[in-house]
């Protein structure tokens, strides 16, 4: 039976608003997966470790721009509207992507190469700071009653589609090109593909309708008022940041860092690492709406607590099992377990974060909390994982980082929902 016009309209709106999220994660995943090739092209050094650390540091630097983008662009979106603001964030993201694609290697232009790649990452980070918050708030505001968790889960769902597409493209390249060709120029092809889809995403975003909730608002805060409101609610923003820590650390571990971990630490083939990552993206896509729906049915708090506790007790045993018996099957088993933990938690966490932020700075507050978490936890997961393994000699050491993030998220969840229960703001 065909869907009703309202259902089709809702689905189209979800596609339009999440398309930019697709591009963001597509680019971020590619940077992580091709880290060794990017390191060779732009960051030559005396050792593979040093070169890889510089590459992941530049990757992480992009995340340091997210809080700035969250405040400036988030306030802009809260002022001018979700539609216009999300077109601006897409434009900045596209500029950064184009820069990374077009920059010649170190051998051609010297230190200008890493400098321009860094600039591209900073532009991407500035844009992403408000992109995710703007998309999440838009989905929350357009959701039908009692289904906010389900609708907001598609923000992360679009990112999983990006991972699957990027991994499939990388797998195809590995089948078509020799390793030397991929290292020299082939790694740029997926980034060029990202540039080719930018006009299509602009077309989708151009037809995005403003949300009814935003149009009904009588007061539009100025930048000064946004910053003042964020200052008054700094405890909520910090607690929200800690709640996001679990999501962002686990996500970047199983997607961005996993291929490099599989290749350089576990010595698995590139194709094996890509295939595992592709299947993890599919798994995330399945579990995210389930987590959101269950949080709509049973509440956000029980899901958040259950997933953080499970992560605390299983992160190290799971990675230790993989490190001591590295194989395609074992890597798949372990990462699918982490996928379940991440996706179930995130499906509940996104709507929870939209509910705790003050309405007048919903985008700015959400974006700032998420961006701070991504900057301090997620964005540096690859570099922290590489460093921990190098310093300890333990291939399972990234589990320490993920478990710490889960502990932060558990404490923040308990504090926030105790506060919410006192104020009776939303049902626990």
Who's near 197: CB < 8 A, 6+ residues apart?
Answer: 23
**298: how many CB neighbours lie within 10 A of its CB?**
11
pLDDT attached to residue 220: 65
Nearest to 237 by CA among 118, 115, 74: 74
Domain that holds residue 249: 18-205+222-422
**What's residue 316's pLDDT?**
95
- Give the residue-averaged pLDDT of 325-351: 92
Q: Which of 98-107, 335-344, 408-417 has the lowest mean pLDDT?
A: 98-107
Q: Is residue 290 within 8 Å of 344, Cβ to Cβ?
A: yes
Residues 33 and 97: beta-carbon distance below 8 Å? no
Contact 241, 369 (CB under 8 A): yes
Q: Is 353 a member of any domain?
A: yes
The mean pLDDT value for 398-413 works out to 95
366-383 residue pLDDT tens = 888 888 898 888 877 888
pLDDT for 427 beyond 70: no
Question: In b/e form, how buried is each residue of 275-297, taking b as 16+ CB within 10 angstroms?
Answer: bbbbbbbbbbbebbbbbbbbbbe
Taking CA atoms, 363 is separated from 10, 68, 145, 354, 360, in Å, by: 21, 13, 20, 8, 8
Residue 210 resides in a domain: no
Residue 417 belongs to domain with CATH number: 1.20.1250.20
Reported pTM = 0.78
Residue 375 DSSP class: I
328-336: Cβ within 8 A, 24+ apart? 328/268, 328/272, 328/275, 328/276, 331/258, 331/262, 331/266, 331/268, 331/272, 331/273, 331/276, 332/276, 332/279, 335/254, 335/258, 335/276, 335/277, 335/280, 336/279, 336/280, 336/283
185-199, 202-216, 245-259, 306-320, range with the lowest pLDDT: 202-216
Q: Is the dihedral of CA 60, 121, 245, 74 positive or negative?
A: positive
Check residue 46 and give its pLDDT: 63
Sign of CA pseudo-dihedral 22, 23, 25, 30: positive
Token code pair at residue 243 = 């709640």
pLDDT of residue 259: 75
Task: Confirm whether 386 is domain-assigned.
Answer: yes
Q: What is the mean pLDDT of residues 405-413?
A: 96
Q: How far is CA 285 from the centre of its chain?
A: 13
Query: In the chain, what percentage of residues exceed pLDDT 70?
Result: 89
Please give the Cα distance from 128 to 115 (Å, whole number). 20
Total domains, the chain: 1
Is residue 313 included in any domain, yes or no?
yes
Residue 214 lies in a domain: no
In-domain check, residue 13: no
More confident residue, 351 or 198: 351
Give the pLDDT confidence of 141-172 residue by residue, as tens digits: 888 888 888 888 888 888 888 888 887 887 78
When mean pLDDT is compared over 15-29, 114-128, 184-198, 320-334, the highest value belongs to: 320-334
Give how far Cα 257 sits from Cα of 94, 123, 262, 380, Å: 23, 21, 9, 10
pLDDT for residue 165 = 85
Residue 1 belongs to some domain of the structure: no
Residue 266 neighbours by CB under 8 Å, 6+ apart: 322, 323, 326, 331, 395
pLDDT-based confidence at residue 118 (cuts at 50, 70, 90): confident
Query: Span 29-51, mean pLDDT?
Result: 71
Return the pLDDT at 160. 85
Is residue 427, in this structure, part of any structural domain at all?
no
Q: Is the pLDDT of residue 207 over 60?
A: yes
């Amino acid at each position: 039976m065909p869907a009703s016009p309202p259902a089709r309209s809702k689905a189209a709106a979800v596609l339009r608003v999440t398309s930019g999220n697709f591009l963001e994660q597509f680019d971020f995943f590619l940077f992580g997966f091709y880290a060794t090739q990017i390191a060779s092209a732009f960051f030559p050094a005396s050792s593979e470790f040093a070169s890889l650390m510089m590459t992941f540091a530049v990757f992480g630097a992009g995340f340091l721009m997210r809080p700035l983008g969250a405040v400036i662009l988030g306030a802009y979106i809260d002022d001018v509207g979700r539609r216009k603001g999300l077109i601006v964030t897409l434009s900045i993201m596209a500029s950064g992507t184009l820069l990374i694609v077009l920059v010649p290697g170190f051998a051609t232009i010297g230190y200008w190469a890493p400098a321009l790649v860094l600039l591209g990452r900073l532009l991407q980070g500035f844009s992403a700071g408000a992109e995710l918050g703007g998309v999440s708030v838009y989905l929350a505001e357009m959701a039908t009653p009692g289904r906010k968790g389900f609708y907001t889960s598609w923000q992360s769902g679009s990112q999983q589609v990006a991972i699957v597409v990027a991994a499939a493209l990388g797998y195809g390249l590995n089948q078509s090109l020799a390793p030397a060709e991929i290292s020299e120029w082939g790694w740029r092809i997926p980034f060029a593909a990202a540039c080719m889809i930018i006009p299509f995403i602009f077309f989708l975003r151009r037809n995005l309708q403003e949300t009814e909730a935003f149009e009904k608002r009588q007061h539009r805060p100025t930048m000064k008022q946004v910053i003042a409101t964020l200052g008054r609610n700094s405890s909520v923003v910090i607690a929200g940041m800690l709640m996001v820590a679990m999501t962002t650390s686990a996500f970047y571990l199983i997607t961005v860092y996993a291929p490099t971990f599989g290749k350089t630490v576990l010595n698995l083939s590139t194709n094996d690492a890509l295939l595992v990552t592709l299947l993890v993206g599919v798994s995330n896509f399945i579990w995210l709406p389930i987590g959101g729906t269950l949080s709509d049915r049973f509440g956000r708090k029980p899901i958040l607590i259950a997933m953080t506790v499970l992560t605390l007790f299983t992160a190290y045993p799971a990675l230790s099992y993989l490190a001591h018996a590295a194989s395609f099957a074992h890597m798949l088993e372990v990462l699918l377990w982490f996928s379940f933990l991440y996706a179930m938690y995130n499906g509940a966490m996104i709507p929870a974060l939209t509910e705790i932020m003050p309405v007048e700075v919903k985008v700015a507050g959400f974006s700032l909390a998420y961006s701070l978490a991504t900057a301090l936890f997620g964005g540096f997961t690859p570099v922290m994982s590489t460093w921990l393994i190098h310093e300890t000699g333990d291939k399972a050491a990234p589990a320490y980082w993920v478990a710490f993030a889960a502990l932060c998220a558990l404490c923040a969840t308990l504090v926030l929902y105790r506060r919410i229960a006192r104020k009776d703001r939303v049902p626990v």
